[in-house]
Amino acid sequence: MPELKRLTLAQYWAAGCGGCDVAVLELHEKILELVQHVELVFWPIALDFKVEDVEAMPDASVDLALVNGAMRNSENIEIARLLRRKAKVLVAFGSCAHLGGIPALANLSSRRDLLRHVYRDSASTPNPEGTSPVVSHHTPHGELELPTLLPWAQALDQVVPVDYVVPGCPPDPDRIWEVMQAVISGQLPPPGAVLGARDVALCDECPRTKGEKKITAFRRLADFTPDPNQCLLEQGILCCGPATRAGCGASCLAANMPCRGCYGPPPGVSDQGAKLLSAIASVVASDDPAEVERIMAGIDDPAGTFYRFSLASALLPGAQQRELR
């Protein structure tokens, strides 16, 4: 019998921690089944592929491309556009590609301030000459080049059209396997869908007991051990469940840790941070402005809490970026 034609798969790691690539490896023995149906044609972290290899491929010849990481430098943009041309299906894989992720928290600072802090001012950086990176440097052996750092981080769909999103930081391996099975079987939903997730908020998936929420103070996990069966928000632990899409299996909550919001907003929510702030405001147990201010002051790093994964896709930074263009 003739050998079954395998689907071609490309995967690229942009501005991110690499956890999304590791999550694919966490399919464990299922990878052996996957490679019977899928042929890797580009995955720089795992195999020796070159950009030139992808450039030589006919357009729309790659069945599936997974891009993880935010768009932070010129190389990220170049590869994203290249894979968009070459791939029939392009997927924003993980929180950083989906919403900008943690790298986009750097959007709160200017590029100049970021470079100065990282290469000159941080306590752990010995750089008495104040040397900063340059995009081009001539040497006797030729010209050395680095990608240009962009003014801000962006989500993948802010750079190229995206067919599907697989959320998570990183995506849950079981959900990745479900997505791969849908791709192999040709049973993908219409483009624009969020794969490996559900169309409800995480609170609907969380098994913890929920009662009336009246928050009088926010507490830190370092100060006490939460009741493993009661809603964490009711115990004063800031949990992003009310403003986060379900699908992860509430795995953090099972470990007595609050949701951090990595699966992005539920359907119908355009700004995850604003939705979370609204949910928190509705359960603060006071109408007195001074008391409300005291309670809310218990939230350390509000921007990093409410927009931990979604700052690049938030309404306010989006308006600011359009103005800067």
Chain segment 153-174, per-residue pLDDT in tens: 999 999 999 999 999 999 999 9
Is the Cβ–Cβ distance between 90 and 160 less than 8 Å?
yes
Out of 64-73, 141-150, 285-294, 313-322, the most confident range is 64-73
Half-sphere CA count of 37, side-chain side, radius 13 A: 14
Is the Cβ–Cβ distance between 63 and 136 less than 8 Å?
no
Is the Cβ–Cβ distance between 96 and 102 less than 8 Å?
yes
pLDDT at res. 49 = 87
pLDDT at 104 over 60: yes
Cα separation of 221 and 215, whole Å?
16
pLDDT at res. 239 = 95
SS3 152: strand
Query: Which two structure tokens, joined as six digits, stand for 107?
Result: 């959007």
Q: What is the pLDDT confidence band of residue 324, given thresholds at 50, 70 and 90?
A: very low
Cα separation of 310 and 318, whole Å?
11
Is the Cβ–Cβ distance between 286 and 215 less than 8 Å?
no
pLDDT at 318 over 70: no
Residue from 57, 51, 60 nearest 84 by CA: 60
pLDDT at res. 325 = 45
pLDDT at 213 over 50: yes
SS3 151: strand
Residues 273-312 have pLDDT tens digits of 999 999 998 888 888 889 989 999 999 899 999 999 999 9
Domains of the chain in start order, with CATH, are 7-102+152-185 (3.40.50.700), 113-150 (no CATH), 202-324 (no CATH)
φ, ψ of residue 192 to 5 degrees: the values are 105, -10
pTM score: 0.91
Q: What is the pLDDT confidence band of residue 132, given thresholds at 50, 70 and 90?
A: confident
Count of CB atoms situated within 10 Å of the CB of 86 = 22
Any idea which residue has 């896709």 for tokens? 313
Query: In sequence order, which residues have a C-beta less than 8 Å from that of residue 141 and are 6 or more positions away?
Result: none
Residues 173-209 have pLDDT tens digits of 999 999 999 999 999 999 999 999 999 999 999 999 9
